Structures are given as C-alpha cells and as structure tokens.
Structure 1
C-alpha cells in the first residue's frame, strides 16, 4: 500500500472482532510510530500496551465518570452525555488492544511529538489491515494521578494518545471532509 492509499483510506474504527492482534504486529506498529519526527530529535515517547479486557473495562468506567464530573457545563453535548451515562458503552469499543503513547520527558513539543508518532501508528495499522481510533474520552482520566496509577505510569509522564487497535468488523464508511481554508501570502 502506498502512502496516499493509507492517508486517504484510514478511518476511525469503532467496531472490532474479538480476534487478537499478534505481538509481532504490535511491535511493527510501534516501530513505525518511532520513525516520526520529533523536536530536536528528542523522541520523548513511551508505549504502554494493554490487552487485559477487564482492565480496559475498569478504565472505561473511571474515564466516563471523570469526564462527566469535569466537563464544563455548556460543553456537554447531548450525544456525549448519552454515551457517558450509558453503562453498556465501553469507550474502547471492546478493541483487543490499547496502545497508549505517553511523553516521558518534559518539553515544549512533547504533545506534538507523540501525536506525530500516533499518526504513523494509525497509518501503519491501516496498511496492515487493522482498524484504529484515538480515544479522546480516555485522555483526561489517564493523565490524572489515579489513571497513571492504574497503569503504573510515572507521575512525570504525560499520556497523550490512547489508540485502540484491532481487526475491524467492517470497513468504516467514508467521511466527508470540509474544504480547507488556504491563505496564500506572496
């Protein structure tokens, strides 16, 4: 698969089979992630791989409660509130793997560096026939002392990109993209 096919074909996947993802494939995704550029070549990332469904269920419950307790009023869309209050909604969509990319050193560009690694990981997952999705519902909770404790993360690390990975049940529908606003100067 060429890069254009991966960029234009990758979609966020929210329905997975129960099939496991081989450890060698996970290693390949992480190897692709670390090929990303980083500010001053600091490569400030670390990868936590979770395959324990009971632990993912626990994190899902705690992350939903955290979001409900901390979302500013007025930013609570009806859609989000419905999902977060649904006890059957699991924020990781029962994907077999969560790969959390965290910044492991302080720095001005750690978020951007980890995001670049995440994009490489997701594009490679698609090229391998896998689905992926960045789970924004998990980010804030995983960056709390409680969230870090559950995963055994050092307090100075910054969880940035919780990416689920698995075998998609079906191909996600194409998404309509807005036309970019482009400003030319000169």
Structure 2
C-alpha cells in the first residue's frame, strides 16, 4: 500500500470541498487506491484504541446494480408507512433509479459488537476514508438507506461478514462525472461559549 497514492491536497481544502457525489464517470477505481483509503480509515481515533471497525469492499457495476435493485425492494417491502422512505417510495419503485448512483465500488464499514462506542468510531473512520478519497480525486456518497439490508443475516453470509458485525456506514466511491456544486452550510449554532483566561 503506497502512501504516495494520496494526492497532496491540504486538509482544509478536503474538509471544505469534499462533496457527496451522485454521478460517476466510467473510469475504473483501482484496488490500490481503495487499499490506501482503508489505511487512512483505520488511522481514525477510537475509544480506548479498540479499533472496532471491519470492512467489506465490493467492486463491479453489474454487481452493484443488482444490489441497488435488491436494496430498493427491501426498503419498499419492509419499512413502516410512517418511515421517511415512504416519501421516496415512487423513486425506489422506479427500476431505473440506482440507489448506489452508478458507482463502481461500495465500501461497507461494520462495527464489531461488545466494544465501547463502536458506531461513533466507525463514523470517524468513514470521515477519514471520504477525505482521503477526495485527496485521490475520487468521489464518495454515504448510502444510509442501504444499511438495514447490509445487516441482514443472509446478506452478511453472502458477503462473508461475521454474524456479530453490525453495518454502520455504507459508502460508494468512484471518479466523479464532473464537479459537484457546494451545498450551503449554516454557521455553527453555539449555545454557549465559556473561554476563561486562567
């Protein structure tokens, strides 16, 4: 795994310019690039340094297109009518809509049960991965709605995932089809600021 795969971009640049990418080019993601992203991910802090994350990497547009259809069918069939997904049910019932946005690679970060704050730790690892991907010129998009499907026992068996792992953060990646416009951010909402000088 070669650290030089990471482009020399500033951290502030990555924080302020990384965007969720929902349209990807035909350029293929290389396995060495993904390996480097995983190395970046595991540099994240974790409670008591327990490093509770595990990873599944799936590459291939045909396979991911099949997963997209299966995830959509699961969402429409299983979520209660009060859940947010039903405001999008028309979209998820559309056979042409790709919930994985045509990416060629899916990385799923799983947590290992019985650890202290594993979900939060896995989210920290995911942020490292996404910022490192930006540094390589790759785009990423978290796919939270895919998480329940990826946590099904039969899907974990299909993916070779241990039963006790819990899906936390699915993220697709690939080369963006073009630039992504920024989404406005609000100023920090600070309830109180106590700054003592001694």
Aligned to 1:95: 103
Aligned to 2:45: 37
RMSD: 1.6
Q: How many matched pairs?
A: 186
1:145 aligned to which of 133, 140, 153: 153
1:27 and 2:20 aligned: no
1:6 aligned to which of 6, 9, 14: 14
Deviation for aligned residue 1:95 = 0.6
Cα contact 2:75–2:85 (8 A) shared by 1: no
1:102-143 CA distance string (max 9 Å, x none): 113422411111110000000010111110011112111101
Aligned to 1:50: 58
Deviation for aligned residue 1:23 = 1.4
Deviation for aligned residue 1:146 = 2.4
**Structure 2 segments unaligned to the other structure (5+ residues):** 1-8
Distance, in Å, in 2 between the alignment partners of 1:19 and 1:95 is 10
C-alpha spacing 1:41/1:155, structure 2 compared with 1 (3 Å): same
1:183 and 2:191 aligned: yes
1:155 aligned to which of 149, 155, 163: 163
1:123 and 2:131 aligned: yes
TM-score in terms of structure 2 length: 0.87
SS in 1 for 2:163: coil
1:80 aligned to which of 69, 75, 88: 88
Aligned to 2:143: 135
More displaced, 79-88 or 126-135? 79-88
Distance, in Å, in 1 between the alignment partners of 2:165 and 2:85 is 30
Q: Which of these two proteins has the greater Rg computed from alpha carbons?
A: 2
Deviation for aligned residue 1:97 = 0.8
Distance, in Å, in 2 between the alignment partners of 1:53 and 1:102 is 22
C-alpha spacing 1:105/1:78, structure 2 compared with 1 (3 Å): closer
